[in-house]
């Protein structure tokens, strides 16, 4: 019988913190194979480790190809609309903290709130003949946030590189991006709007509700949660 597949970050600080989180609870995770080979094992019976990029993990959870996964709440909210119908949040892990925020040039001294941005966006369109550009990797979250706030005169510009540099490079007038301390924004002469917090995020362990679950897999998950000293969730929601 195939084991329970657990997707973990394949590299970087998030992988290190995840391994430490499990180790603190008596569960060893180790990389196997060559440095560039994404393989590993976990000291839990019936659980198979799958190493993936953080961005892949929500997609694999949604597709049901992995049963469990550790990834950021920002990525889940961005890539899985109505995610509680597809995933079960098991536990927030207490690391990987980041805020998705809306930021504008620091020289915009009269723009401190979303209402200010709305007024500037309308004036920008009248003056330039096109909408104010907001660079981001988080199109779904930003679009919904601005819709709720009543901002209409803008366009989203896709940014898969250094989003903070798009204003300096004249490819956007504002940005929406993840920040931890805000220092990178300051270094790029940007400021966060006072009410520009779109989402607070941290690393979280999720279970897929679209994966194939049976009594045996639920039993393995229950044993895993007990081993990690977690309050057991309602596993009847799975499958």
User: For 145-166, what is the mean pLDDT?
Assistant: 94
Q: Would the CATH topology of 4-96+203-237 be identical to that of 98-201? A: yes
For the domain bounded by 4-96+203-237, which CATH number is listed?
A: 3.40.190.10
7 bridge partner residues: 50, 69
Q: How confident is the model at residue 161 (pLDDT cuts 50, 70, 90)?
A: confident
Q: How confident is the model at residue 231 (pLDDT cuts 50, 70, 90)?
A: confident
81, 140 Cβ separation under 8 angstroms: yes
Query: How high is the mean pLDDT of the chain?
Result: 93
pLDDT in tens, 13-56: 999 999 999 999 999 998 776 555 466 889 999 999 999 998 89
pLDDT in tens, 95-111: 999 999 999 999 999 99
pLDDT at 66 over 90: yes
Which region, left, alpha or beta, applies to residue 101 given φ > 0 means left and ψ of -120 to 50 means alpha? Answer: beta
Beta-sheet pairing, 68-72 with 4-9: parallel
Could you say which of 3.40.30.10, 3.40.630.30, 3.20.20.220, 3.40.190.10 is the CATH number of the domain covering 98-201? Answer: 3.40.190.10
Domain ranges of the chain: 4-96+203-237, 98-201
Q: How confident is the model at residue 172 (pLDDT cuts 50, 70, 90)?
A: very high
CA dihedral 161, 144, 200, 121 (to 10 degrees): 70
């Amino acid at each position: 019988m195939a084991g329970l597949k657990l997707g973990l970050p394949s590299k970087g600080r998030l992988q290190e913190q995840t391994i430490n989180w499990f180790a603190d609870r008596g569960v060893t995770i180790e990389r196997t194979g060559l440095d560039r080979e994404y393989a590993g094992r976990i000291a839990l019976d019936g659980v198979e480790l799958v190493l993936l990029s953080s961005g892949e993990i929500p997609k694999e959870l949604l597709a049901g190809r992995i049963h469990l996964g550790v990834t950021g709440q920002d990525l889940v909210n961005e890539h899985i609309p109505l995610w509680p119908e597809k995933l079960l949040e098991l536990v927030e892990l207490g690391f990987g903290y980041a805020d998705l925020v809306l930021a504008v040039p620091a020289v915009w001294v009269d723009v401190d709130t979303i209402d200010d941005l709305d007024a500037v966006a309308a004036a920008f369109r009248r003056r330039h003949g096109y909408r104010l550009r907001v660079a981001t990797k988080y199109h779904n979250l930003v679009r919904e946030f601005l819709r709720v706030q009543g901002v209409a005169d803008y366009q989203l510009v896709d940014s898969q590189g250094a989003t903070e540099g798009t204003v300096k490079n004249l490819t956007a007038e504002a940005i929406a991006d993840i920040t931890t301390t805000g220092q990178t924004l300051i270094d790029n002469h940007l400021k966060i709007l006072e009410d520009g917090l779109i989402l607070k995020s941290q690393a979280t362990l999720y279970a897929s509700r679209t994966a194939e679950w049976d009594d045996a897999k639920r039993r393995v998950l229950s044993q895993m949660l007990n081993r990690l000293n977690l309050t057991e969730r309602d596993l009847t929601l799975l499958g």
